[in-house]
Amino acid sequence: MIEQTCPLSDADPWVARDAAVVWHGFTQMAAYPGNSPVTVERAEGRELIDVHGNRYFDAISSLWVTTLGHHIPELDQAVVDQLGKVAHATLLGNGSRAAIEFAEALASVVPVTDAHVLFASDGAVAVEQALKIAFQYWVNRGEAGHRQFLALDDAYHGDTVGALSLGDGGFGTTLFDPLRFPVLRSPGYASGDWAVKLVGAIEANASSLAAVVIEPLVQGASGILVAEAEDLALVGEACRSHGVLLICDEVATGFGRTGRLFASEWAGPDFRPDIVCLGKGITGGYLPLSATVASGQVFAAFDGPDLGETTFYHGHSYGGNALACAVALRHLQLIDEWDVLATVAVTATRLAERLADSVAGRPGVGEIRQRGLMVGIDLDPPPGATRWGRRVCAGAVGRGVLLRPLGDVVVIMPPLTTTVEEIDRVVDALVASIDEVASEDRR
């Protein structure tokens, strides 16, 4: 029996107020109040605290954005300091000190040669910008015909129409298919030969490609499907030798999540994407910021006369927001100062061990996939059983561990500073929830 620490939502006035005015994304609002949502009021460290004082370990990093934890004094201070200067000033045609300083720091670590940073506010927009940059790159160079994008099965790049086009669909988005532009597709990481197939598609279509787009190492939203670093390297080499632009969407994998600062780094020093998309963890989970980072070679194709046609006519009101850039800069410094990647190595190893000991092979559990602190656990419900992902995660929430599934895949994506004791807390809650749901369906 779940020890219910939060009150039932129909007795919860916050849930009623919430459902009356807030429209939650990826959420059926008619069912929302009945699904016992957590209403967060504040946070300490890696715990979220709801309006009733219940504490939940944030095992999904608030949808994969939180890196160091919540309410980090140094990050809070960075925002406060910037507030004392200016909260926002546009980057369209003018500069902002906070954006310059963060872009300099980012350019020195991102695996893009001679990096140039175009800011926005969400991951999907970083992808939209990358698509348009790649498309216009060929137009500006006067090389006709490079109009197609090559993307993978099971890809997810966000919910705007361009990003949705690159994505493989699903998630209830099929009705938008008439709006999605066609892209060439190659098998994703679920296929053992995905890289060979992708290299073949690059060779066959090089003259018509604007770019190849991948999520390096991990296809996150499709259930944490994982690739081998050597396979990424093969794809990078094929793009280079055929003169095809490579866009790496590191919105989910960036900023330490896989154990390196960027997942692209696993493929070795020669793996240099032409464009990298960043978001989510870029501000440590504090403020909305994203970035499309283009190589100097890509950037140079946009040189031309003032008000001329080679200009990139694209921008967003809050792109490069000063508060967001200030906290992003401090975050990048802290990853280094605190040696966060060393912590990730220890914690990821502990998580792998606990999953192998306590979760793998358990009734109701299928494959487990992990790269750093990104984990997907396939649930394997008996025939006729429904909503296992939801039910298992609800059980974990009732035990004070916030999890959110992708279908019947339980995703564990804890903050990078998670301790081994907290890993045990997550795994213990998960095991108890899986056993409970499995026994309910055996009755």
Ligand X SMILES: Cc1ncc(COP(=O)(O)O)c(C=O)c1O
Query: Could you list the residues that contact ligand X (CB under 6 A)?
Result: 122-124, 127, 156-158, 215, 220-221, 249, 251-252, 279
What are the tokens at 278?
């960043």
What is the nearest approach in angstroms of ligand X to the Cβ of residue 293? 14
In the complex with ligand X, which residue's Cβ is closer, 54 or 219? Answer: 219
Alpha-carbon span 360 to 374, nearest angstrom: 16
Q: Which residue is nearest to ligand X (CB)?
A: 123
What is the nearest approach in angstroms of ligand X to the Cβ of residue 59? 16
At 112, give phi and psi (nearest 5°). Answer: -125, 130
Contacts of 124 (CB under 8 A, 6+ apart): 157, 158, 159, 160, 163
In the complex with ligand X, which residue's Cβ is closer, 111 or 158? Answer: 158
What are the tokens at 240?
């280079």
In the complex with ligand X, which residue's Cβ is closer, 152 or 251? Answer: 251
Sheet containing strand 47-50, edge to edge, reads 40-44, 47-50, 55-58, 401-402
Helix, strand and coil in the chain, % to nearest 5 = 40, 15, 40
In the complex with ligand X, which residue's Cβ is closer, 105 or 130? Answer: 130
In the complex with ligand X, which residue's Cβ is closer, 263 or 431? Answer: 263
In the complex with ligand X, which residue's Cβ is closer, 47 or 249? Answer: 249
Give Dmax (Cα) for the chain. Answer: 73
DSSP state of 357: I
Alpha-carbon span 443 to 438, nearest angstrom: 9
What is the nearest approach in angstroms of ligand X to the Cβ of residue 265? 17
What is the nearest approach in angstroms of ligand X to the Cβ of residue 253? 7
Pairing of strands 148-152, 209-214: parallel
Residues in the chain: 443
At which residue do the structure tokens 């499709």 appear? 222
What is the nearest approach in angstroms of ligand X to the Cβ of residue 289? 10
Alpha helices in 206-270 (DSSP H): 229-241
Categorise residue 259: left if φ over 0, alpha if ψ from -120 to 50, beta otherwise. Answer: left
Alpha-carbon span 87 to 92, nearest angstrom: 16
What is the nearest approach in angstroms of ligand X to the Cβ of residue 65? 8
What type of residue is 159? D
Give the Cα-Cα-Cα angle 105, 108, 113 (nearest 5 degrees). Answer: 135
In the complex with ligand X, which residue's Cβ is closer, 124 or 301? Answer: 124
What are the tokens at 183?
């892209």
